[in-house]
Amino acid sequence: MTAPASDIAKVRLPIPQGVDVARITGPADALFRAAERRCEASVTLRGGAVVLSGPVGEVDLLTRLFTHVIQAAGTGISLTPDDVDRAIDGLRQEDLHATGPRDDVLLSYRGKVIRPKTPGQQRYIDAIREHTVTFCTGPAGTGKTYLAMAMAVSALQRHDVGRIVLTRPVVEAGENLGFLPGTLEEKVDPYVRPLYDALFDMMDAERAHELVERGVVEIAPLAYMRGRTLNDAFVILDEAQNTTPEQMKMFLTRLGFNSTFVITGDATQRDLPGKRGGLVDAQEILSGVDGIAFVELARADVVRHRLVGKIVEAYELFEAGREAGAHEGPARAKAGKEGRHVRAHQ
């Protein structure tokens, strides 16, 4: 149905001189087309300005969106259609302060800019900046480890900390790596490879290897943290859903002066079935403690391939259905038994 003329709006957003228009439109106007697919409004480029036309509410949303797009383009940031989709989702949730294209650049390497792309990711980054210890949980693809690594590398470059420590519980080998050949690094390498991958994505491989050799960047299994005090360090505990309560307590008590701890995990991907988890316990025990933050990312924060978000959603729906069926089973059995009991007395 066509909106009444009184409900139609038109807004013109001038593009400042010197700003690359291609960063605002995207290749073949991809950003414009992505916005039009999600909104009942048109987006065109006319006379050095972005022109928005359509229902008042939709034009208001796109005005806020493309104001951010133009600001981002002015800082040399190129956005993608996926960025536009996520921004629109955030704006529809009326979370303008933490939505869409952000100017909050964490790290820049060879023209690649790393920054939070969703409201949840921005909350995560803010929590790390404002707290000594930050727990972050969420499904695959939400940037839990990647953003923590960007913050760590940035802190090291600013000389806010003297080293980076990366650790994971090596569940598959039972934390006993003696039977594997090679040095400690070679034994642990298959398990900490995602941390290496993130590190190499943010600096030259030669520079990264040099920092590892000098001990400025340390990668070790969680079991080797016992008995240490980690001062002047940015410490990341990855895959924390596979810790036991004892391991989590041990790790948290390694905290030293001028250090930041970030603990990440996905409770749906535990490799310790039937055992209590250190991550869940920590959330229950430490909630409300000053200096400790808990951030939960969701499917809307997935920034990998769009199909990843759909996969996460499908699994969530499946698990919810299975739990509902498990609850319904006993109820149906009880109802059937009561029905048979009633008929037997008729």
Nearest to 166 by CA among 216, 235, 227, 242: 235
**How far is 102 from 97, CA to CA, in rounded Å?**
10
C-beta of residue 131 within 8 angstroms of C-beta of residue 291:
yes
C-beta of residue 123 within 8 angstroms of C-beta of residue 282:
no
3-class SS at 242?
A: helix
In degrees rounded to 5, what are phi and psi of residue 36? Answer: -70, -30
C-beta of residue 9 within 8 angstroms of C-beta of residue 60:
yes
For the chain of 346 residues, list the mean pLDDT of each consecutive stretch of 10: 64 91 92 92 92 90 89 84 82 55 68 79 92 93 91 93 90 51 63 79 88 90 89 94 93 95 89 78 91 90 70 77 68 54 49
**How far is 260 from 236, CA to CA, in rounded Å?**
8
DSSP 253: T
**Residue 324: both structure tokens together:** 């509902």
**How far is 98 from 75, CA to CA, in rounded Å?**
18
Nearest to 175 by CA among 256, 251, 268: 251
Q: What does the H/E/C string look like for 161-173?
A: CCEEEEEECCCCC
Intra-chain end-to-end CA distance of the chain, in Å: 59
- Its sign, for the CA torsion 65, 71, 73, 75, is negative
Helix (H) or strand (E) holding 8: strand 8-14
Question: Domain extents for the chain?
Answer: 5-98, 107-307
Note the pLDDT of residue 96: 43
Equal fold, 5-98 vs 107-307: no
The model's pTM: 0.67
Note the pLDDT of residue 173: 40
DSSP 140: T
Report, at the CATH architecture level, how domain 5-98 is classified.
2-Layer Sandwich (3.30)
Note the pLDDT of residue 339: 53
Fold of 107-307: Rossmann fold (3.40.50)
Note the pLDDT of residue 175: 45
Note the pLDDT of residue 252: 95
**How far is 6 from 28, CA to CA, in rounded Å?**
32
**Residue 22: both structure tokens together:** 């291609």
Q: Are strands 49-55 and 42-46 parallel, antiparallel or unpaired?
A: antiparallel
Q: What residues contact residue 292 under an 8 Å CB cut-off, 6+ apart?
A: 131, 132, 133, 134, 135, 286
Sheet holding 292-296, edge to edge: 217-221, 163-168, 233-237, 260-265, 133-137, 292-296
